[in-house]
């Protein structure tokens, strides 16, 4: 679970009154959730991300609308289209990641394994490739 990106199916209670999903740390998400942030009001055609984390793990959820998460592991690229609020994408450490193709009014909710730390970011793709080779 810690090396490969993986789509997680979250619990869902379908109900005529409206649906409900939830997440518990260390049960539905393989880490303790230390931080939650969200990306919203993304103008058409914009991209977010474009970096890797040395240690941070994340789960990304399309809480509303849809977008693509593009992950590069240093060798190959994979694209995950998220459009269900009961799916989460687990992103392990040391993955180059970008978010793009946001639909109008989409909201990306991100659960993170640690507090914000700029020193954990790799913002240069060539440096990422070098560090991957170790
Ligand atoms: P960044 O992670 O670079 O955004 P993107 O999703 O496009 O990769 O974050 C943008 C800015 O927001 C960054 O300069 C610092 C700030 N920030 C925080 O202060 N705390 C956070 O938890 C996050 C995610 C970002």
Match 């919203």 to its residue by tokens.
40
Mutate which of 48, 109, 111, 116 for ligand 1 pocket (most atoms within 8 A of beta carbon) = 116
The catalytic site residues sit at 51
The three-state (H, E, C) secondary structure of 7-55, written as one string: EEECCEECCCCCCEECCCECCCECCCCCEEEEECCCCCCCCEEEEEECC
Q: From the CA of 90, how far away is ligand 1's center (Å)? A: 18
The full set of domains in the chain, from first to last, is: 6-11+25-133 (2.60.120.10)
Of 115, 109, 107, nearest to 32 (Cα)?
115
Rounded distance between C-alpha atoms, residue 45 and residue 95, angstroms: 23
What is the pLDDT at residue 38?
A: 98
Residue 2 pLDDT greater than 80, yes or no: no
Paired tokens of 73 = 């592991």
Instruction: Quick: pLDDT tens for 17-46.
Output: 999 999 999 999 999 999 999 999 999 999
């Amino acid at each position: 679970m810690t090396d490969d990106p993986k789509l997680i199916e979250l619990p869902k209670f379908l109900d005529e009154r409206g649906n409900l999903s939830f997440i518990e740390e260390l049960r539905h998400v393989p880490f303790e959730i230390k931080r939650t942030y969200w990306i919203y009001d993304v103008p058409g055609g914009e991209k977010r991300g474009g970096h890797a984390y040395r240690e941070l793990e994340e789960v990304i959820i399309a809480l509303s609308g849809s977008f693509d998460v593009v992950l590069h592991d240093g060798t190959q690229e994979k694209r995950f289209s998220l459009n269900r609020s009961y799916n989460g994408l687990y992103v392990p450490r040391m993955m180059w990641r970008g978010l793009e193709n946001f639909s109008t009014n989409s909201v990306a909710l991100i659960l993170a394994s640690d507090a914000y730390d700029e020193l954990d970011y790799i913002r240069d793709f060539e440096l990422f490739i070098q560090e991957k080779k170790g």
